[in-house]
């Protein structure tokens, strides 16, 4: 029985070390390098990439329903509003003000948002889900 436990433990250690080695090999050579900066109109060519997208917030949308534990998500269109948005990001307000607080923080301002660029399965504009507000910064390069 002791031999069997030893073999199982050895197999687990081997598997974990292989996973660790694979993860280290997949990491970029300069993990501390900032993500590339992408224009809102070019974000559609970077789906799946982690990047920083900067632009002026031109419109906001708040849905009727919220997400448990987060509240109502607010969509911020950059550079071009509905009906043909080119890029947007989603952020959440902080209690108790909720959506009004996050809208006041970013509406009509130039911002940079960093994260993984994704899109809806049915198409539409690419976006970044900025669940952490630290992902959103003022665009200092516009000055």
Q: What is the pLDDT at residue 97?
A: 81
Does the pTM exceed 0.95?
no
Q: How confident is the model over 86-138, as pLDDT tens digits?
A: 999 999 988 788 899 999 999 999 999 999 999 988 878 999 999 999 999 99
CATH class, range 37-142? mainly beta
Sequential DSSP letters for 89-118: EEEEPPTTTTHHHHHHHHTTSEEEEEEE-E
Q: How far apart are CA 9 and CA 11, in angstroms?
A: 5
| Per-residue pLDDT tens digits for 47-89 | 999 999 999 999 999 998 888 878 889 999 999 998 899 999 9
């Amino acid at each position: 029985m002791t031999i069997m436990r030893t073999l199982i433990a050895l197999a687990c250690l081997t598997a974990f070390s292989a996973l660790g080695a694979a993860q280290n090999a997949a990491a970029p050579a300069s993990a501390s390098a900032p993500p590339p900066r992408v224009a809102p109109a070019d974000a559609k060519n970077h789906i799946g990439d982690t990047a920083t997208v900067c632009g002026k917030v031109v419109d906001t949308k708040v849905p009727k329903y919220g997400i448990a534990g987060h509240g109502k998500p607010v969509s911020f269109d950059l550079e071009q509003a509905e009906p043909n948005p080119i890029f947007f990001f989603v952020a959440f307000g902080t209690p108790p003000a909720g959506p009004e607080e996050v809208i006041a923080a970013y509406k009509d301002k130039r911002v940079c948002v960093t994260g993984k660029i994704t899109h809806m399965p049915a198409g539409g504009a690419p976006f970044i889900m900025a669940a952490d507000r630290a992902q959103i910064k003022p665009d200092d390069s516009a000055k």
